Amino acid sequence: MITPEKPISSQHIFDGRVVQLFLDEVALPNGKTAMREVVRHQGAVAVLAITPDDKIVLVEQFRYPCNRVLLEIPAGKLDVAGENPEQCALRELAEETPYTCESVHLIYQFYTSAGFSDEKLYLYQAIGLNRNSTLKPDEDEYLELRELSRNEAQQALQNGDIVDVKTIVAIQHWLLMSIVDKLQK
């Protein structure tokens, strides 16, 4: 059985708009101590949206930390601690794309990089997609809409055109569900 590390001390290093950074000293199961750099994040959502003609809704945007344009599913951070992730997913879809949806269904929730961050991402599937959004992206977001068929999405994964983990998880789920649907028929 794995024994949890026990916190000894925590030093608040940085407080930003998106993350907080802490340097924590922990007691290890063997009695020794270690330092842990921890990025605290209030969480985020992502939305797997499929158009009525069976295409996945993606956005292209420049991601400064990666220094490149990434192709991703619509996503965004929870605006405040405790914000309802479902409501955030509805908002992010409508802000980043021309689409709204009637509801969302939680597919998965997972930690994006558990080795140093507590960011939890909630991956939703949009239900009842409609092309009728009047919302706009955030002031610092520059997005371009892309819609890919299953074959195009699979090719983009194989070519390395999609390297964002939340998008990879969403596309793999979408592709797997199409296989399951075919097997059930």
Contact assessment for residue 101 and residue 128, using Cβ atoms and an 8 Å cutoff: yes
pLDDT of 93 reads 98
pLDDT of 50 reads 98
Measured torsion, CA atoms of residues 182, 145, 153, 158, in degrees rounded to the nearest 10: -160
Q: Which pTM value belongs to this model?
A: 0.94
83 is catalytic: no
pLDDT of 181 reads 81
Instruction: Flag whether pLDDT at 166 surpasses 90.
Output: yes
pLDDT of 185 reads 79
Distance (Å, whole) CA 183 – CA 20: 46
3 state DSSP class of 154: helix
Instruction: Flag whether pLDDT at 15 surpasses 80.
Output: yes
- Lowest-confidence range among 21-30, 54-63, 157-166, 172-181? 172-181
Q: Which of 5, 86, 95, 139 is catalytic?
A: 139
User: Is residue 167 packed enough to be buried (19+ CB in 10 Å), middle (13-18) or exposed (0-12)?
Assistant: buried
Instruction: Flag whether pLDDT at 130 surpasses 90.
Output: yes
Instruction: Flag whether pLDDT at 80 surpasses 80.
Output: no
Q: What integer best gives the mean pLDDT of the chain?
A: 96
Percent of the chain with pLDDT over 90: 90
Structure tokens at 85: 């992730």
State whether the Cα torsion 87-49-58-177 is positive or negative: positive
Instruction: Flag whether pLDDT at 174 surpasses 80.
Output: yes
Contact assessment for residue 19 and residue 41, using Cβ atoms and an 8 Å cutoff: yes
Instruction: Flag whether pLDDT at 88 surpasses 90.
Output: yes
* Domains, the chain, ordered by start: 6-40 (no CATH), 42-184 (3.90.79.10)
DSSP string, 99-136: -EEEEEEEEEEEES-TTTB--EEEEEEEEEEES-----
Structure tokens at 161: 């055109």
Contact assessment for residue 127 and residue 104, using Cβ atoms and an 8 Å cutoff: yes
